Structures are given as structure tokens and as C-alpha cells.
Amino acid sequence: MVDTTRPTAVALDEATVAFRLAGDRVYTAVEQASLTVEHGEFVAIVGPTGCGKSTLLNVAAGLLKPVSGTVRIFDQPLTGLNKDAGYLFQADALFPWKTAIDNVAIGLEIKGAPRVQALERAQGWLTSVGLGAFAGRYPHMLSGGQRKRVGLAQVLIRDPKILLMDEPFGPLDAQTRQIMGNLLLELWNADRKAVLFVTHDLEEAIALADRVVIMSAGPSARIIGDWKVPLARPRDISEIRMEKEFHELHREIWSVLKDEVMKGYAQSTQAPAVVA
């Protein structure tokens, strides 16, 4: 249920992101990207490797500043970090020296919640991601999928209005990815946050999202397509892939994406392209 009566959760307008390289050269990662995520909307960004998908996400998180263009969060210009957002990273981001439950509770503790109460709610969140019995484990004692579950609980316990996810299930095997996808949809269904989900997997994007946004190959990546996903909710990720609508949409988007993937691959095998 996309709610357009409320202010747009994330609005990038003509955002360009560039990095200064050695010797005064400038690398433009993303060029004039405009993108909106409405309240309660699940948007997936898909693009070839190295196209700047994560860059765009970091802009929405306030971790990166665009050199031109604007970022508005709930109609307010973004300055500094995006405090309304929870960020699920691709790489391991849990605190390795904290147990699972302490990793989850920390988001409340730093806001000044009493420890007992924070731990109680953390235990509740661990249970909802299916790790109720693993509270005392340190991250290295958990599998990759379990660590992602803890990460999800760590982010969701703070109840962020926006969820930013950077290929969160990338390192997982195919089966675990589907299970995690279903878990994510189930948790998201409970309170429909605005979600910006970056992935290189088109199937995953269609199965999860309300809208799929396609980026061109970098450098100077642009947004080159935007599709609504008309599939009904609630969805089961492993079932939905069998449906006819899914296939048609997949074929349609893939015809556009394929060329970019090839371009991206060609570039990744050449010397790095640099824009002066």
C-alpha cells in the first residue's frame, strides 16, 4: 500500500556523485539520478556490477554527499546522516565483540533505554527473526544467514521509517536468500516502511519490490528504467517465480538490462575508465 498522501520518504533530484582520484582526476559514479520512494513503498535498484547502486544508497543514507542535485527525506533537505533510515550493509557489520543480543540491543541502549528493557526487546526481535535461542552467540559462531538475521533485527529494533539495504543477501547461498527474502517481506508487511533495496539479481528485485529501477553501467551511471511490479501481495518468493506475470516482466526488464550488463562486463575487464 503505497501512501502518496504523506511526504515522499526519499527523493533524489538530479543527484550526481563524483569522487576525486589521485592527480586531480574526477570519477563520476552516478550522474543526474532522480528517484523517489514513497511512504510504504518497496523499491529495488538493479544494475550491473560497479554501476553505482551502492553509491546511490549511501547518498540516501547521508554517508555520501552528491556534488550536485538534492536529497530530500520526508520533504526535508538531508544534512548529515539520515536519522530516519536503518541501513543493512552488504559486508558483515555486526560488532564482533558483542553477542547477538547485545548487537541488537545496542540501537536502543545508545538512545538511553535502560539495559534490562533493551535486552528484553532485543530478545523479542531475535525471536521474530528466528534466532531466539542464539542470543548469547558471538557473530563468528553464527552462519552467514544467521548474521544477516541479527543485522536485520539490529536495524529494525530502532523502528526506522526508511530501510536502506545494500545487497544484504548477496553473500548467501540461493536457498538462504529465498528464506531471508520471505522473512524480510513478512517483517515489512507488518508496518510497511519505505524500502530502498539494492541488488544485482533481477529475479530477487521483482519478487520483493513494488517498483524496479534499472541503472546503466558505470561510470556516470544513470537511471534508465523504472517498472511497476503488478504482482499481488503477500508474496511467497519461491512461488512467485513460477507465475506468468513474473516471467513477462522479467523478460521485459531483462531486455533492457542485458545490454548494460554486457557493457559493465566489458568495462570491468578493461583499464578503469576515467572522466576528466
Partner 1 sequence: MSRPVLLLCQLLVAVVGLALWHVFTTVPIFGRVLLPPFFFSNPIDVASQIVDWFVRGTIWKHLWITLLESALAFTIGSVAGVLVGFWFARQPRVAAIFDPYVKMANALPRVVLAPIFTLWLGLGIWSKVALGVTLVFFIVFFNVYQGVKEVSPTVLANGRMLGMSERQLTRHVYWPSALSWMFSSLHTAVGFAVVGAVVGEYLGSAAGLGYLIQQAEGIFDVAAVFAGMFVLSAFVILIDLLVTVVERRLLVWRPDGAGGHG
54 sits near partner 1 (criterion: CB under 8 A): no
Exactly one of 22, 96, 269, 271 binds partner 1 (CB under 8 A); that residue is 96
Phi/psi of residue 191, nearest 5 degrees = -140, 10
Exactly one of 26, 81, 262, 274 binds partner 1 (CB under 8 A); that residue is 81
- Could you tell me which residues come within 8 angstroms of residue 257 by beta carbon, excluding any fewer than 6 positions away? 46, 47, 48, 202, 214, 225
Identity of the residue, 106 or 213, whose beta carbon is nearer to partner 1 in the bound complex: 106
DSSP assignment of 211-261:
EEEEEPPSSSB-EEEEEE----SS--HHHHTTSHHHHHHHHHHHHHHHHHH
- Site mask, partner 1, residues 117-156, x = CB under 8 A? ---------------------xxxx------------xx-
**Per the structure block, which three cell numbers stand in for 2?**
503505497
Phi/psi of residue 215, nearest 5 degrees = -110, 150
The number of residues that bind partner 1 (CB under 8 A) is 28
Least Cβ distance, residue 103 to partner 1 (angstroms)? 10
Least Cβ distance, residue 86 to partner 1 (angstroms)? 7
Cα distance between residue 163 and residue 44, in whole Å: 12
Least Cβ distance, residue 175 to partner 1 (angstroms)? 22
- Could you tell me which residues come within 8 angstroms of residue 255 by beta carbon, excluding any fewer than 6 positions away? none
83 sits near partner 1 (criterion: CB under 8 A): yes
Least Cβ distance, residue 96 to partner 1 (angstroms)? 6
Identity of the residue, 106 or 221, whose beta carbon is nearer to partner 1 in the bound complex: 106
168 sits near partner 1 (criterion: CB under 8 A): no
Exactly one of 27, 32, 98, 241 binds partner 1 (CB under 8 A); that residue is 98
Cα distance between residue 132 and residue 135, in whole Å: 6
Cα distance between residue 84 and residue 87, in whole Å: 10
Identity of the residue, 95 or 265, whose beta carbon is nearer to partner 1 in the bound complex: 95
Cell numbers 528484553 correspond to 120
Residues at the site binding partner 1, with contacts judged by CB under 8 A: 61, 63, 81, 83, 85-87, 89, 91-99, 106-107, 110-111, 138-141, 154-155, 158
